[in-house]
Amino acid sequence: MNKNFDTKRLGLFLKREIVRAYSDMGLTILILGLAPAILFGVIQTFALIIAGEMVSFTYTGILAFTMALSLGSIVVPIKLYGSLTDKRFGSEWLMIPASRQEKFTAMMLITCVIAPLSIVAITFVTDGLLSLFFHNQYGQLIATKVNFKDMLDFMRGLACSISGCEDAVDMGELEGIRLHLSMAGTYILNWLEYTMFFLLGAVIFDKSKFGKTLLCLMGLSMVLSMASTAFFSFCNLDGLIDALYDANLQQLINYMMVAIYILYAAVILVPAYFIWRRIKNLKH
């Protein structure tokens, strides 16, 4: 048996952690999954009070779904693993017969796979019931409400309206352009990014985990913003714009997609590495 990593031992520890997770967070996960019903109820209650009748707001589901997963990326890591810095709970957790690699793997599986999938499953069931019984007011299922092509056309038009480039790029030339990063994929990567940051804050900070993590994220955003501003201030923007107009648009977008994937990988893997270092060296 491998002393550092054994799948059977991992399975036993993961089962124990899942039981603990649903004992500690089962109600919270249920409430997050019921977000479409809660938001729909709030909207229709105000509509009945103000207008005297129910109103149609077909983006209730997608808005509630986004809110549920966004809150889950904050609440789940802090609630489940924030106690590791507590001497009593942390000592008990460290004494469980499983290696640090197995504990780290179970932590990643629960926070990044099991808990979010549970929220998604309950949300989709709630969404389906609301769409079935209140179709005129609630609308279609969440999965049918996002039209990527319409959103892309909207963003193109908005960008050209702001920059005044209506005549610079023929919209017809963009019809064959393929974006290899879907909206759903982008959302998942963003969600993983915030989950990793708040999980890192949960295992590093002793107190005020949410506040301190949020402050660190704000500080990091400010630093990156100032760095990008300084970078572009030293760039020859006129030459860069001319080069963009002369470049092969599909090739340019392909390079941009690669850069986006690399950036996402960095902002997800770097916090994950420091989480692993913290778990590996955790002592009480």
In a domain, 85, yes or no: yes
In a domain, 128, yes or no: yes
pLDDT score of 196: 92
pLDDT score of 247: 56
Q: For residues 64 and 70, what is the distance between their CA atoms, to the nearest angstrom? A: 10
pLDDT score of 193: 87
In a domain, 99, yes or no: yes
In a domain, 34, yes or no: yes
The tokens describing 283, both together, are: 């002592």
In a domain, 69, yes or no: yes
Residue type, 59: Y
pLDDT score of 242: 60
pLDDT score of 14: 93
pLDDT score of 27: 92
In a domain, 165, yes or no: no
Domain that holds residue 20: 7-145+177-281
pLDDT tens, the chain, 284 aa long? 456 788 889 999 999 999 999 888 899 999 999 999 998 888 888 888 887 777 777 778 888 888 898 899 999 999 999 888 888 888 888 888 888 899 999 999 999 999 999 998 999 999 889 888 887 788 777 766 655 554 455 445 445 544 445 443 444 444 444 444 455 667 778 888 889 999 999 999 888 888 888 898 888 888 877 877 776 666 655 555 565 555 555 566 666 777 777 888 888 899 999 999 998 888 76
Closest CA to 128 of 113, 110, 140, 112: 140
Number of domains in the chain: 1
The tokens describing 44, both together, are: 């229709």
Q: Report the predicted TM-score, pTM, of the whole model to 2 decimal places.
A: 0.76
Closest CA to 270 of 197, 207, 189: 197
Residues present in the chain in total: 284
In a domain, 44, yes or no: yes
* H runs (alpha helix) in the chain: 7-33, 35-50, 60-81, 87-95, 100-109, 115-133, 135-138, 148-163, 183-204, 209-233, 237-246, 249-281
In a domain, 254, yes or no: yes
pLDDT score of 91: 85
